[in-house]
Amino acid sequence: MQPIVKYEQITKSFGELEVIKGIDLDIYPGEKIALIGPSGSGKTTLGRLLMTLEEPTGGTIELDGELLWHMEVKGKRVRASEKHLHRMRGKVGMIFQHFNLFPHLNVLRNVTMAPHCVLGLSKEEARERAVTMLRKVGLEEKLEVYPSQLSGGQKQRVAIARALVMQPKVMVFDEVTSALDPELVGEVLEVIKEIAAEDDMAMLLITHEMEFAREVSDRVIFGAEGRIVEQGTPEEIFENPQSERLQSFLGRFR
Ligand code: ADP
């Protein structure tokens, strides 16, 4: 099977600071990967690179069989046009810690906006798709409500529906529960678990919730200081960590 995402020898620096130090990672269609590791180790940057929110300093990223930042023209590799980037961006969705909903639009309009304006679906088609997604995240009764009337957990579920409605091939979840009150974390993780079980898109889940990582993923990757230190099945990583670094990292959650 061809990977849907292929990071090859990826490096990323911000000025003098090298944040990603040579990462090779293949993500397969439908695969659910949990990315764990200490804060500052480059996890968010890895997701942002895929969203084209950051450009790599070195290496290549392939998405769905095509280069992300470059394209082939007459057999030569040239810098990607805005059109190419736009098309590639449509294959990836990302959900952030802070939900960034449009405060002046109700829940339904928050979710229909992009399929209508970006994908060009008719209002009816966009609505139909949006309602299906909002049902999936358990918010079909809140269609007319404005974000300010929702709890943090509900807002994050709207943000998840808004990303799902675009039907990306890969979805990056970036610590989506970190900004929530503890009592709201469970409902959001439950929704993500259901989506992971039902949906065949690939998922890259950046998380500090170890139980969740274990339950939801096919593969766990432990990164530290811009490198992949260890990876394996949830059982291998959580039951039998090999490196001292991973052992000590996991020790903090016990
Ligand atoms: P993680 O998600 O593992 O916590 P990040 O990818 O957010 O790590 O950050 C890795 C490092 O890169 C941190 O030291 C962070 O401060 C730095 N960093 C991230 N984005 C920027 C930026 N736009 N400019 C400068 N430094 C950045």
Residue position matching structure tokens 């200490």: 38
Partners of 219 in the β-ladder: 33
Specify the CATH number for the domain of residue 241: 3.40.50.300
Count of structural domains, the chain: 1
The residue assigned the tokens 């230190």 is 229
The answer as to whether 225 is a domain residue is yes
45 CA distance to ligand 1 centroid (A)?
6
Specify the pLDDT at position 230: 98
pLDDT at 27: 98
Report the distance separating Cα 195 and Cα 216, nearest Å: 10
Total residues found in the chain within this entry: 254
pLDDT score of 72: 84
Centre of ligand 1 to C-alpha 88, Å, is 24
How far, in Å, from the CA of 73 to the mean position of ligand 1? Answer: 34
Nearest CA to ligand 1 atom 16: 40
Strands 70-73, 219-224: pairing is unpaired
Read off the amino acid at residue 26: D
Beta-sheet pairing, 58-63 with 5-14: antiparallel
Query: Is 108 within a domain?
Result: yes
> Which segments in the chain show pLDDT lower than 70?
none
- Amino acid identity for residue 110 in this structure: N
Summarised one tens digit per residue, pLDDT across range 150-205 is: 999 999 999 999 999 999 999 999 999 999 999 999 999 999 999 999 999 999 99
Whether residue 239 is contained in a domain is answered as yes
Our CA angle for 148, 93, 18, nearest 5°, is: 105
62 located within any domain: no
**Which strand (E) or helix (H) includes residue 234?**
helix 234-239
Give strand pairing partners of 250: none
Residue 192 lies in a domain: yes
Give pLDDT, residue 70: 87
What is the gyration radius of the CA atoms in the chain, in angstroms? 19
Q: What pTM was estimated for this model as a whole?
A: 0.95
Establish if 3 belongs to a structural domain.
no
Ligand 1 binding pocket, CB closer than 6 Å: 14, 17, 19, 37, 39-45
CA distances from 116 to 83, 112, 169, 201, 223 (A): 19, 6, 19, 21, 38
Q: Residue 223: what pLDDT?
A: 97
What the block records as the tokens of 145 is 């409500």
* Number of continuous H segments (helices) and E segments (strands) in the chain: 9, 12
Contact at 8 Å (CB) between 68 and 52?
yes
Which structural domain, as residue segments, surrounds residue 139? 29-48+91-251
